[in-house]
């Protein structure tokens, strides 16, 4: 293995292959910069890094520079992922700077050896992978992790994923996704953290910190990627890749803040989005990638396109041809081309034609090389490839235990009439376990499940219940129904076996939902109902008159109206991950108490979409609790359904009962430079030790621009013993009340406010205060 000091490299720059320099960057606390620019800088020896990169760029041919801006994918093989012989040769020629869909300690060592020891300049590779909610130990689907509202756990889960992936040679993950969305038809809601800008910002920053740790050059961390920049979650009609047309106020108020939060948390890379934003494709948007990201926010890291997104500027109708697309993307600020090979095909010619400057290419190359420096790759290109570390780290006892805990925390108890849950074996002789997701290993881990073993490793609900109850409880299993789109409700295949199992049982546990490919990228739906003939089977089973518990597994809010009316208990489990079956058994048995809260509103039907808690009032607001308004026609209302959701943002029940006392404020006024404290006593009035997410919201009654009916401003997830009371306090300042005012300047406005604290966005205690100059 070759290692050289910087001084030796500089003095011998024309003679030796580059290998290793020292002191890759460590993330520092934010350094003050002029608002609204970013406050983040990495702790680099800038002079040393700049000198190193200057020498290296000075030695590079144009072809080698362009090669650093090209990312190519590996090809899956039986022992992991291989890279084609053609791509290996291009690495030797210095014409590939990064690869993805590649993992394996030995394979990554092989590739780095080609890059470092067989190419002219010896520049190591970035090796990326979609480590989204786990690498081989799979944690709950991202939307499920968000439902935990547990930032420490989310950060810890990302750190585990990073340790596993890094041991297998990966040094870069294409996550987190921070797209705010209010449309559950969009399949990629499963990859994000929901509808609320405050919650998504906190969770996204926690994931960045988990992936990258305190030292980006550590051999057990990954460079994270903020995606998809920006507005992707508002795709028209909920259809993936579709257009987005959004106002400046909405863009700055809800879509951009989570990305700024990740930037401030130290994220190393940004990824462009597929859609066009207000008529300009995001991958060709100089305003997004240069004006906002670079100039206003001061981002110093790497910008990469999404998969072939540069090529797609042509069908968008934004570029005449692929050469034009290349010109537009690089000049807009896209440093690296993911897979599309347009930079490698066209940049040299564009430089000759004067349509792209070599200085512009040099700037992008510099950013690629700087991130390789910060990852420590010039010091040791093999630091992320360690077969022995992989052997002990991947799927370790600790990792699996944390995945089980994360899954338990992600479950949301939507309904629990008559204390149907938890299951009590001493009162139940037998239960029927019915549904297409009851014993499906693949569907436990959901979509974007990294390098997870889908066939053997995941624990199913059936396996979890059998392990937990053993001989205490007889379990009669029948698949019963199908969740495939092409199976009509009239198809009754499997129904009779399910009915017979239910007849022999005291209680029915239904495992229904979507299979893993029904949510995620390119998995948009026009219906939110449970697909296939699942509902038809539930209707049949209801006629037996037995208690019914529905466990829903999916990556989005579903239409659960029928279940809400007819099923005794509903537990939403998302896709719970590798240890999901054990975690479900833990919660269904009462060994652990559910504590999840919804990060997205659940509509009554798809006709309410988009629906979200922090909407604005209209000039004719409708209040269903007001008897007079129920008789008025000319209000903002539906004729055939309530305005309210089926389950509100922040909703989530427990096996115990939490009582909220009176809300008290330290003052009824708040000055612009002061602070206000809100306190409320919360009591666990039940028999179970449990966690509760205490949520804080505010409302500005009058503003220079219309304001939401409420906005999340804080939350605390706290543990309570049976009968325990705690006084929960929040501190609020004027900065917490700032927004983009009528003139699009950021700041707070004096006036009347309401403050709310409670267990969900629709179950709150309130008090009033005034913000004064």
585 is a domain residue? yes
Tokens of 208: 């960045």
546 is a domain residue? yes
625: which residues sit within 8 A by CB, 6+ positions away? none
Helix, strand and coil percent figures for the chain, each rounded to 5: 35, 20, 45
DSSP letter at 123 equals: P
Can you tell me the mean pLDDT for 153-166? 98
Q: How many C-beta neighbours within 10 Å does residue 484 have?
A: 13
User: Are 572 and 667 within one domain?
Assistant: no
User: Are 595 and 683 within one domain?
Assistant: no
pLDDT of residue 271: 98
765 is a domain residue? yes
Can you tell me the mean pLDDT for 176-205? 97
296 is a domain residue? no
DSSP letter at 215 equals: B
Decide if 306 is catalytic.
yes
pLDDT of residue 102: 80
- How many domains does the structure of the chain reveal? 2
User: Are 581 and 679 within one domain?
Assistant: no
* Domain endpoint, select from 587, 606, 625: 606
Longest dimension (CA), the chain: 87
Residue 246's Cα: distance from chain center in Å? 22
Query: What whole-number distance in Å separates Cα of residue 456 and Cα of residue 395?
Result: 13
Query: What whole-number distance in Å separates Cα of residue 532 and Cα of residue 535?
Result: 8
String of b and e for 595-624 (b: at least 16 CB within 10 Å)?
bbbbbbbbbbbbebbbbbbbeeeeeeebee
Instruction: Please report which residue ranges of 253-314 form alpha helices under DSSP H.
Output: 257-264, 286
Residue 384's Cα: distance from chain center in Å? 24
pLDDT over 90 at 12, yes or no: no
User: Are 589 and 691 within one domain?
Assistant: no
Question: Model confidence at 81, in pLDDT bands (50, 70, 90)?
Answer: low
For 98-111, the pLDDT digits (tens) are 999 888 998 899 99
Can you tell me the mean pLDDT for 224-249? 97
231 is a domain residue? no
* Domain endpoint, select from 588, 606, 624: 606
Nearest to 421 by CA among 167, 192, 591: 591
547 is a domain residue? yes
| Catalytic one of 306, 443, 516, 568 | 306
* Domain endpoint, select from 573, 606, 639: 606
For 513-526, the pLDDT digits (tens) are 999 999 999 999 99
CATH number of the domain at 411, please: 3.40.50.1700
Q: How many C-beta neighbours within 10 Å does residue 243 have?
A: 16
Residue 757 has φ and ψ, to the nearest 5°, of -135, 135
Is-contact 539 497, C-beta < 8 A? no
Can you tell me the mean pLDDT for 546-553? 98
Query: What whole-number distance in Å separates Cα of residue 406 and Cα of residue 150?
Result: 9
Can you tell me the mean pLDDT for 642-657? 97
Query: What whole-number distance in Å separates Cα of residue 628 and Cα of residue 625?
Result: 9
For 616-627, the pLDDT digits (tens) are 999 999 988 888
706: which residues sit within 8 A by CB, 6+ positions away? 616, 617
CATH number of the domain at 667, please: 2.60.40.10
690 is a domain residue? yes
Can you tell me the mean pLDDT for 714-728? 98
User: Are 676 and 560 within one domain?
Assistant: no
User: Are 436 and 581 within one domain?
Assistant: yes
How crowded is the C-beta side of 410, counted as CA atoms within 13 Å? 34
Distances from the Cα of 649 to the Cα of 177, 551, 565, 707, 759, angstroms: 20, 19, 20, 18, 10
For 283-322, the pLDDT digits (tens) are 999 999 999 999 999 999 999 999 999 999 999 999 999 9
Query: What whole-number distance in Å separates Cα of residue 546 and Cα of residue 548?
Result: 6
To the nearest whole number, what is the mean pLDDT of the chain?
A: 92
User: Are 592 and 514 within one domain?
Assistant: yes
How, if at all, do strands 172-173 and 126-129 pair?
A: parallel
User: Are 591 and 737 within one domain?
Assistant: no
Query: What whole-number distance in Å separates Cα of residue 225 and Cα of residue 267?
Result: 6
pLDDT of residue 492: 96
248 is a domain residue? no
User: Are 446 and 533 within one domain?
Assistant: yes
For 453-512, the pLDDT digits (tens) are 999 999 999 999 999 999 999 999 999 999 999 999 999 999 999 999 999 999 999 999
Question: Is residue 553 reached through a cis peptide bond, with omega within 30 degrees of 0 on the bond before it?
Answer: no
Question: Model confidence at 46, in pLDDT bands (50, 70, 90)?
Answer: confident
Which of helix, strand or coil describes residue 599? coil
Can you tell me the mean pLDDT for 75-90? 66
Tokens of 4: 């050289």
Cα angle 683, 717, 616 (rounded to 5 degrees) comes to: 100
User: Are 549 and 435 within one domain?
Assistant: yes
Which of helix, strand or coil describes residue 333? coil
User: Are 587 and 688 within one domain?
Assistant: no
Distances from the Cα of 527 to the Cα of 238, 264, 605, angstroms: 11, 38, 9
Can you tell me the mean pLDDT for 32-40? 33
User: Are 452 and 595 within one domain?
Assistant: yes
pLDDT of residue 75: 61
Residue 741's domain spans which residues? Answer: 656-772
Which of helix, strand or coil describes residue 419? helix
């Amino acid at each position: 293995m070759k290692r050289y000091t910087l001084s030796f490299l500089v003095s011998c720059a024309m003679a030796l292959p580059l290998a290793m320099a020292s002191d890759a960057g460590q993330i520092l606390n934010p350094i003050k910069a002029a608002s609204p620019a970013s406050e983040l800088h990495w702790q680099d020896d800038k002079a040393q890094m700049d000198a190193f990169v200057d020498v290296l760029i000075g030695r590079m041919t144009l072809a080698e520079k362009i090669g650093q801006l090209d990312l190519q994918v590996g090809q899956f093989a039986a022992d992991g992922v291989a890279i084609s012989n053609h791509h290996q040769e291009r690495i030797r020629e210095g014409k590939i700077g990064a690869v993805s869909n590649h993992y394996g300690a030995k394979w990554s060592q092989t590739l780095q050896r080609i890059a470092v020891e067989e190419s002219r300049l010896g520049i190591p590779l970035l090796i990326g992978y979609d480590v989204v909610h786990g690498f081989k130990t799979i944690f709950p689907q991202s939307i499920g992790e968000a439902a935990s509202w547990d930032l420490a756990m989310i950060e810890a889960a990302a750190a585990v994923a990073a340790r596993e992936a890094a041991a297998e040679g990966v040094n870069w993950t294409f996550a987190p996704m921070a797209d705010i969305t209010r449309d559950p038809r969009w399949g990629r809601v499963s990859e994000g953290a929901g509808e609320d800008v405050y919650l998504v910002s906190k969770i996204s920053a926690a994931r960045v910190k988990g992936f990258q740790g305190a030292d980006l050059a550590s051999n057990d961390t990954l460079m994270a990627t903020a995606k998809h920049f920006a507005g992707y979650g508002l795709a028209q009609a909920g259809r993936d890749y579709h257009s987005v047309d959004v106002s400046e106020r909405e863009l700055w108020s809800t879509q951009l803040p989570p990305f700024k939060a990740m930037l401030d948390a130290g994220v190393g890379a940004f990824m462009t989005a597929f859609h066009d934003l207000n008529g300009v494709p995001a991958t060709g948007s100089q305003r997004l990638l240069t004006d906002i990201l670079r100039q206003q926010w001061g981002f110093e890291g790497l910008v990469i396109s999404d998969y072939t997104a540069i090529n797609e500027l042509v069908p968008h109708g934004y570029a005449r041809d692929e050469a034009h697309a290349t010109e537009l993307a690089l000049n807009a600020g896209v440093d690296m081309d993911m897979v599309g090979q347009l930079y490698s095909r066209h940049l040299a010619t564009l430089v000759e034609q004067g349509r792209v400057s070599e200085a512009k290419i040099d700037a992008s190359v510099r950013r690629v090389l700087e991130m390789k420096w910060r990852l420590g790759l010039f010091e040791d290109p093999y630091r992320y490839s360690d077969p022995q570390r992989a052997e002990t780290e991947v799927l370790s006892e600790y990792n699996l235990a944390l995945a089980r805990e994360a899954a338990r925390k992600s479950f949301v108890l939507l309904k629990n009439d008559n204390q149907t849950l938890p299951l009590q074996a001493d009162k139940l002789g037998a239960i029927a376990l019915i549904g297409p997701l009851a014993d499906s290993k693949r569907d436990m881990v959901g979509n974007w499940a990294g390098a997870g073993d889908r066939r053997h490793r995941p624990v199913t609900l059936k396996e979890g219940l059998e392990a937990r109850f053993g001989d205490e409880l007889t379990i009669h299993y029948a698949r019963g129904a199908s969740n495939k789109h092409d199976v009509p409700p009239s198809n009754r295949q499997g129904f009779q076996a399910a009915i017979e199992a239910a007849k022999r049982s005291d209680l029915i546990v239904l495992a229904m939902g979507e299979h893993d490919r029904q949510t995620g990228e390119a998995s948009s739906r026009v219906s939110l109902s449970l697909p296939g003939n699942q509902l038809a089977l539930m209707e049949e089973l209801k006629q037996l008159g037995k208690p019914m518990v529905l466990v829903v597994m999916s990556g989005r809010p579903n239409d659960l109206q029928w279940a809400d009316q007819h099923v005794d208990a509903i537990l939403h489990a998302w896709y719970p991950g590798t240890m999901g079956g054990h975690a479900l058994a833990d919660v269904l048995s009462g060994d652990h108490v559910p504590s999840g809260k919804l990060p997205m509103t659940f509509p009554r039907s798809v006709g309410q979409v988009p629906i979200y808690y922090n909407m604005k009032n209209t000039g004719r607001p409708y209040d269903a609790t007001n008897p007079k308004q129920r008789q008025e026609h000319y209000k903002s209302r539906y004729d055939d359904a309530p305005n309210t959701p089926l389950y509100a943002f922040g909703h989530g029940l427990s096996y115990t009962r939490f009582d909220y006392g009176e809300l008290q404020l330290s003052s009824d006024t708040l000055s612009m430079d002061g602070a206000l404290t809100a306190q409320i006593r919360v009591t666990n009035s039940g028999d179970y030790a449990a966690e509760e997410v205490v949520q804080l919201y505010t409302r500005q009654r009058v503003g220079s621009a219309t304001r939401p009916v409420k906005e999340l401003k804080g939350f605390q997830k706290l543990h309570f013993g049976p009968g325990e009371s705690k006084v929960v306090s929040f501190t609020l300042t004027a900065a917490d009340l700032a927004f983009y005012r009528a003139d699009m300047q950021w700041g707070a406005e004096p006036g009347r406010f309401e403050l709310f604290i409670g267990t969900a966005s629709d179950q709150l205690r309130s008090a009033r205060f005034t913000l004064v100059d």
